[in-house]
Amino acid sequence: MRKVFIRNGKYISALFLMFLLVFMGTSCGSKKDIIYFQDIESYAPNAVDKAKYQLRIVPNDNLLITVSALNPVAAQPFNSVDLTGSYATGLEWKGYLVDERGEINFPVIGKVTIGGLTKAEAEKLLENKILQYIANPVVNIRFMNYKVSVLGEVNKPGTYTINDEKLTLPEAISLAGDLTIYGQRKDVQIFRMENGEKKYYTVDLTNPAVFYSPYYYLQQNDVIYVKPNKAKTGAATINPSLPVIFSAISILVTVTTLIITLTKK
């Protein structure tokens, strides 16, 4: 009887250990799958930098456009607020919404196509048009709706409004509280609108090439999606009652071990 207990106890203990190792294996990831920007020291000297910051105006952008000149009164008709008056508390700036044709309806001038232009190009275009009415106009454009969304396996998913109109992919990940341990770093997806078409790109955050890629700088309204890794997707398919089963097996092993210990005496 004693030998049966010992043999069964060893069998159950081994079985429990096997289950435990399999379960732990599904939640472990390789170091190569977790660390960002690996071997950047050896990569950087030979890298070709394609990361060019070039924010372009697209339909549905909301733009704050101000016009100034040596004569503020002459510039006033081209502004949506009175720049000659006092800056009272609660002053609201009215933006210019870029329509689907890439046009805005600008005071005095009328319809102006600025879609597809950079800020600098649009400012120059407006200055040349306003120059017909006033001397030495200076146009300043700011995006009022520059935002990106970060979804998936990050600690703080959400939509983030950016004030300085310049954001990199690592900065967006940082705003979202970094990837969780389950985030798939080698397959981060960026969704964006380009020339009226929906496009997506895949970026590997473990590869330092991300610093030199065309997707290092984000565009307004980009969506970043971090997919779950195999450990997370595998855990999602595991029977929800599995922890209860493990607990039951653990109790069984404990009881069996206790019985074996008592029978030895």
**Of 171 and 258, the one with more pLDDT:** 171
Can you give the pLDDT at residue 184? 94
Q: Is 78 exposed, middle or buried (0-12, 13-18, 19+ CB in 10 A)?
A: buried
Q: Report the pLDDT averaged over residues 185-200.
A: 91
* Average pLDDT along the chain: 82
Can you give the pLDDT at residue 13? 52
| In the predicted structure, residue 74 carries a pLDDT above the cut 90 | yes
Percent of the chain with pLDDT over 90: 55
DSSP class per residue in 182-251 = TEEEEEEEEEEEETTEEEEEEE-TTSGGGGGSTTSB--TT-EEEEEE-HHHHHHHHS-TTHHHHHHHHHH
DSSP 99: -
Tally of CB atoms within 10 A around 178: 14
DSSP 136: S
Tally of CB atoms within 10 A around 118: 15
Quote the CA–CA distance of 92 and 64 in Å, as a whole number: 11
Please state the φ and ψ torsions of residue 53, each to the nearest 5 degrees: -80, 115
| In the predicted structure, residue 148 carries a pLDDT above the cut 60 | yes
Q: Confidence band (pLDDT; 50, 70, 90) for 132?
A: very high
Quote the CA–CA distance of 133 and 242 in Å, as a whole number: 76
Q: Report the pLDDT averaged over residues 168-194.
A: 95
**Of 80 and 64, the one with more pLDDT:** 64
Can you give the pLDDT at residue 6? 46
Please state the φ and ψ torsions of residue 142, each to the nearest 5 degrees: -135, 145
Work out whether strand 138-143 and strand 62-68 pair parallel, antiparallel, or are unpaired: antiparallel
| In the predicted structure, residue 247 carries a pLDDT above the cut 80 | no
**pTM over 0.85, yes/no:** no
Q: Confidence band (pLDDT; 50, 70, 90) for 46?
A: confident
Quote the CA–CA distance of 183 and 106 in Å, as a whole number: 46
